């Protein structure tokens, strides 16, 4: 058996009929070099050969009798390939939009908790001898870093370091007596950590308050816990829509280097520019900065392939600013403040407190939130930036040309923007419900336009410096 962390339980208990908590992982594959015919049956065989390296895919949730403790993982469960591996056909002509529509439909239904919490879809019908593998993985199983590491294990690499462990035989589910014994020991272990968790929280909160008093006012940044109303902050529907695009990663890094900004700063600037355009096109006033929730990993070990080691930073997105370089400068300030607050509070402080929140309380709160028409009271939008592999991987000899990933929506916030760097690409994935946008590709188009605007402004600023030096 394996325990779930506080973050795991939060992500599991916050799922409702309209707020699904699965993530999506999409690999587009050039099947020209596939070893054999790229059929669904061949895909099943390839998956079975990689399953021994993917231990979390055999975790199965079990409840504690009488709910005396949180759910637990039972390891080495049976895998029902007829449920977990599915085949879908991308409709003609098989372009990006057609694939995105299929992904949105897959995202619209929750995972069945009677099985290990994942499914893989083999999508054929794409143009140019391509196929796609669409993974639907519950967030309780893996966060962004763990998912990236898990995906790395699933692929082949030129250095030949793909692991080849043996498949462990399936084990029977633990008995109620074993579960209760595990739960009792875990309860005692958790209670011993309560005083230190309280102490860290009190000290962290004091540090935050003291530092906030020392900072000068930043009127162009959002006030904490005061996100403005927008057309996408609303009660979300159960259906999902998906849209994707790619940006040249080298150009994104070059923009950051020029302005002494991180890749994440550039991503947030692009997000702010795209959201400004969307607000104006939908008739909203882009006169106040938005607040973005930025998931942050507290454990970036390359060996971690399961669980959630998370923290969340709230960053101001200055959508009220028209000039892209000014937006970038404000975001640099906002992210610096958010990172400082993150360290002052303590990266693991929130996760430590979540260890003591009863799952029943989480379920009650999130079900109430999902039924309300009110917007999210903490943030407007989720924006994630996940570093992926720097080299292209292969599956059965075929090159994986693109990788997309996107997390779930939150109650009162019908928009998630996730970027995943892979080789020379920055893959942009957008998830929304099916009632907010006329076409979710409006979001990716706005983000691409915001990137072009930022790149042009950077080139112009370089030109000004060159002329001034001359």
Q: Which residues are catalytic?
A: 139
Inter-residue contact 382 to 293 (CB < 8 Å):
yes
Cβ neighbours for 427, distance < 8 A, ≥ 6 positions apart: 244, 245, 246, 388, 402, 403, 404, 405, 419, 420, 421
How many C-beta atoms lie closer than 10 Å to residue 426's C-beta? 24
Concatenated DSSP letters of 217-250: P-TTSPPTT-PPP-TTSSPPPS-EEEEEEEEEHH
Cβ neighbours for 396, distance < 8 A, ≥ 6 positions apart: 34, 35, 36, 42, 46, 156
Q: Which conformational region is residue 149 in: left (phi greater than 0), alpha (psi within -120 to 50 degrees), or beta?
A: alpha
Inter-residue contact 19 to 408 (CB < 8 Å):
yes
| Torsion sign, CA atoms 441, 16, 222, 340 | negative
Residue 124 CA from chain centroid, whole number: 25
> Any idea how long the chain is?
470
């Amino acid at each position: 058996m394996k325990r779930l962390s506080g973050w795991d339980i939060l992500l599991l208990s916050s799922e409702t009929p309209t707020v699904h908590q699965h993530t999506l992982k999409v690999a587009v594959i050039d099947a020209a070099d596939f070893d054999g015919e790229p059929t669904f049956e061949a895909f099943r065989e390839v998956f079975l050969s990689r399953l021994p390296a993917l231990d979390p895919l055999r975790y199965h949730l079990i409840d504690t009798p009488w709910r005396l403790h949180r759910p637990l993982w039972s390891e080495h469960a049976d895998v029902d390939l007829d449920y977990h591996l599915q085949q879908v056909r991308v409709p003609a002509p098989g372009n990006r939009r057609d694939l995105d529509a299929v992904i949105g439909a897959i995202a619209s239904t929750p995972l069945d908790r009677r099985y290990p919490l994942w499914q893989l879809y083999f999508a054929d019908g794409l143009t140019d001898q391509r196929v796609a593998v669409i993974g639907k993985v519950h967030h309780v199983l893996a966060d962004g870093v763990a998912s990236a590491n898990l995906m790395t294990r699933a692929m082949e690499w030129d250095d030949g370091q793909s692991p080849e462990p043996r498949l462990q035989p399936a084990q029977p589910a633990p008995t109620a007596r074993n579960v209760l014994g595990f739960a009792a020991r875990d309860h005692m272990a958790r209670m011993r950590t309560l005083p230190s968790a309280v102490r860290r929280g009190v000290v962290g909160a004091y540090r935050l308050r003291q530092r906030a008093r020392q900072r000068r006012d930043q009127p162009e940044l959002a006030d904490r816990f005061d996100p403005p109303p927008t057309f996408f902050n609303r009660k979300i529907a159960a259906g999902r829509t998906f849209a994707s695009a790619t940006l040249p990663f080298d150009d994104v890094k070059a923009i950051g280097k020029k302005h002494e900004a991180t890749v994440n700063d550039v991503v947030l600037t692009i997000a702010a520019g795209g959201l400004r355009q969307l607000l104006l096109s939908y008739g909203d006033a882009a006169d106040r900065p938005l607040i973005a929730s930025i998931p942050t990993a507290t454990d970036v070990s390359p060996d971690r392939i399961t669980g959630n080691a998370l923290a969340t930073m709230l960053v101001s997105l200055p959508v009220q600013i028209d000039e892209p370089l000014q937006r970038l400068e404000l975001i640099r300030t906002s992210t610096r403040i958010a990172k400082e607050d993150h360290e002052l509070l303590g990266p693991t402080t929130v996760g430590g407190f979540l260890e003591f929140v009863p799952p029943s309380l989480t379920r009650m709160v999130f079900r109430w939130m999902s039924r309300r028409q009110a917007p999210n009271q903490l943030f407007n939008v989720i924006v994630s930036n996940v570093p992926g592999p720097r080299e292209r991987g292969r599956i059965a000899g075929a090159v994986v040309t693109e990788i997309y990933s996107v997390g779930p929506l939150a109650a009162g916030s019908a928009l998630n923007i996730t970027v995943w760097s892979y080789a020379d690409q920055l893959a942009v994935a957008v998830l929304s419900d099916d009632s907010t946008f006329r076409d979710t590709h409006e979001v990716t188009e706005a983000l691409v336009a915001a990137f072009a605007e930022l790149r042009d402004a950077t080139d112009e600023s370089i030109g000004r410096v060159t002329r001034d030096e001359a």
